[in-house]
């Protein structure tokens, strides 16, 4: 084993750690965007579900994605992965396993955002296991594991479709079946703003996720050869910055004031959008992709609210809408020099072929993830009677009803209890 093998392994391991740290960003994001009576529950269930999907991914998920002897639908080997090193690979396969495990955890965490403030803890357990077996690995195999979309040249460098759109479709299924939170909508269908309890947490979360995204995108090079990871990191940062700027100005123009949650969503939408294309496009295109994502996320959030779909952490807009745009964007902007997978985009003389492949990937992957997630939750609902806590438990908060203790116990003294609820 040569020096390059060790350097590739070290770089990818650092990137995997950065991606896993994004779980901390999601804890702060979801907790800050929701009410404090659910904060402890959010922190605990996020760590628990990441732990659970790690076991599921080790047992079957990795094998379904990258296993040999499978078919166009899923792989079929390497179950209960034993940590074997494959001779001739450019980096340690154990490191590659950990890196891919982190991606599965992020996709699940996005999906669980659609459960916020009203799902039973037991439903998280069931959905995590089944999402980790039947949803994420199948889409990942189709695109990254040599499945049928990979054979068509589908471009998704770090997961706008595989990770983000898949997670968002799980969140959409949950929001539809769980119905809106108590107090979100009035009898005439107009929406109320249920503000999160800590905007500083949410902003810190956006920054943590932004930094973690360098592991997400640049780490997907899984190599230090030619320092190409620096180019990917450059595009990643430009996409995020453009998304934040565009979201700021569009909210300022439309609302009369620059809306802080929209600014943060714009940065995250820019990151999601550039995730598919970060290695295939030039820096100017990364700026354009981020700018469009920042505008889209603003109008997408308003659209879902008007449709009476209660999405407390904007998972559908940030990860779904921006994920779709990011996936399609390579069909416009991929250059002949950088398109190591598939064909150049429409603006570089590639015609409509690659754009068609990208659209096919969006429709089939999104539809599959949504339908299977919906079926999982629908059957769970039929068996359990309900996947939502009772009205009384929702009013008390999931900290107390699901775990018996508050994330902020000093805030819930008898004196303050009425105002906090």
Mean pLDDT for 209-223 is: 97
Q: Specify burial of residue 31 (Cβ count, 10 A radius: 0-12, 13-18, 19+).
A: buried
**Residue 136 DSSP class:** H
| Residue pLDDT, tens place only, 178-197 | 999 999 999 999 999 999 99
For the ranges 101-105, 194-198, 283-287, the lowest mean pLDDT is seen at: 194-198
| Residue pLDDT, tens place only, 59-102 | 999 999 999 877 878 898 889 999 887 766 799 999 999 999 99
d(CA 318, CA 307): 17
Token code pair at residue 360:
């096919």
Considering the chain, what is the average pLDDT of its residues? 95
Per-residue confidence at 355, pLDDT binned at 50, 70, 90?
Answer: very high
In this predicted structure, the answer to whether residue 370 has a pLDDT above a threshold of 90 is yes
pTM: 0.95
Nearest of 294, 301, 351 to residue 326 by alpha carbon = 294
Q: How many helices (H) and strands (E) does the chain have?
A: 18, 0
d(CA 163, CA 26): 14
Q: Specify burial of residue 192 (Cβ count, 10 A radius: 0-12, 13-18, 19+).
A: exposed
For residue 417, what pLDDT is reported?
A: 57
CA 89 vs. chain centroid, Å, equals 28
Per-residue confidence at 1, pLDDT binned at 50, 70, 90?
Answer: low
d(CA 371, CA 368): 5
Is residue 116 within 8 Å of 383, Cβ to Cβ?
A: no
178: Cα within 13 Å, side-chain hemisphere: 32
For residue 71, what pLDDT is reported?
A: 80
Q: What is the crossing angle of helices 283-306 and 260-277, to 10°? A: 130
d(CA 171, CA 377): 11
Nearest of 172, 232, 229, 240 to residue 206 by alpha carbon = 240
Backbone angles phi, psi at 184, to 5 degrees: -70, -40
Mean pLDDT for 196-209 is: 96
Is residue 97 within 8 Å of 65, Cβ to Cβ?
A: no
For residue 412, what pLDDT is reported?
A: 72
H or E element that contains 331: helix 322-333
| Residue pLDDT, tens place only, 306-352 | 999 999 999 999 999 999 999 999 999 999 999 999 999 999 998 99
**CA distance from start to end of the chain:** 60
Mean pLDDT for 148-176 is: 97
In this predicted structure, the answer to whether residue 413 has a pLDDT above a threshold of 70 is no
Strand partners, 185: 191
């Amino acid at each position: 084993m040569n020096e390059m093998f060790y350097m590739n392994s070290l770089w990818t391991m650092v990137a995997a750690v950065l991606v896993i740290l994004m779980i901390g960003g999601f804890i702060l994001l979801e907790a800050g965007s929701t009410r404090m009576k659910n904060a402890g529950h959010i922190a605990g269930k996020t760590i628990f579900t990441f732990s659970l999907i790690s076991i599921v991914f080790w047992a079957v998920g990795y094998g379904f994605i990258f296993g040999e002897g499978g078919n166009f639908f899923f792989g079929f080997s390497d179950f209960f992965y034993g940590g074997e090193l494959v001779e001739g690979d450019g980096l340690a396969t154990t490191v590659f396993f950990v890196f891919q495990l982190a991606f599965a955890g992020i996709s699940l965490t996005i999906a669980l955002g659609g459960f916020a403030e009203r799902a039973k803890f037991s439903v998280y357990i069931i959905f995590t296991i089944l999402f980790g077996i039947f949803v994420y690995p199948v889409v990942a195999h189709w695109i990254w594991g040599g499945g049928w979309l990979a054979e068509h040249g589908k471009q998704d460098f770090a997961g706008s479709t595989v990770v983000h759109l898949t997670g968002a479709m799980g969140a959409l299924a949950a929001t539809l079946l769980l119905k809106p939170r108590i107090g979100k909508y009035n009898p005439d269908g107009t929406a109320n703003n249920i503000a999160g309890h800590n905007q500083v947490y949410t902003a810190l979360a956006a920054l943590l996720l932004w930094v973690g995204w360098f592991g997400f995108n640049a780490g997907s090079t899984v190599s230090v050869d030619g320092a190409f990871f620096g180019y990917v990191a450059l595009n990643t940062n430009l996409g995020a910055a453009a998304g934040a700027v565009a979201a700021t100005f569009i909210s300022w123009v439309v609302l009369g004031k620059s809306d802080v949650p929209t600014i943060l969503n714009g940065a995250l939408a820019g990151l999601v959008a550039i995730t598919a294309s970060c290695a295939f496009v030039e820096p100017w295109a990364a700026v354009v992709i981020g700018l469009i994502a920042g505008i889209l996320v603003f109008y997408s959030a308003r659209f879902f609210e008007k449709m009476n779909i209660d999405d407390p952490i904007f998972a559908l807009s940030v990860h779904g809408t921006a994920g779709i745009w990011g996936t399609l964007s390579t069909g416009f902007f991929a250059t002949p020099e950088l398109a190591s997978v598939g064909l150049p985009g429409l603006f570089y003389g590639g015609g409509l072929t690659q754009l068609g492949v990208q659209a096919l990937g969006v429709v089939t992957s999104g539809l599959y993830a949504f339908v299977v997630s919906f079926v999982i939750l629908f059957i769970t609902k039929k068996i359990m009677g309900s996947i939502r806590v009772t009205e009384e438990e929702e009013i008390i908060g999931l900290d107390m009803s699901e775990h018996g203790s508050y994330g902020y116990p000093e805030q819930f003294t008898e004196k303050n209890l009425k105002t906090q609820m």
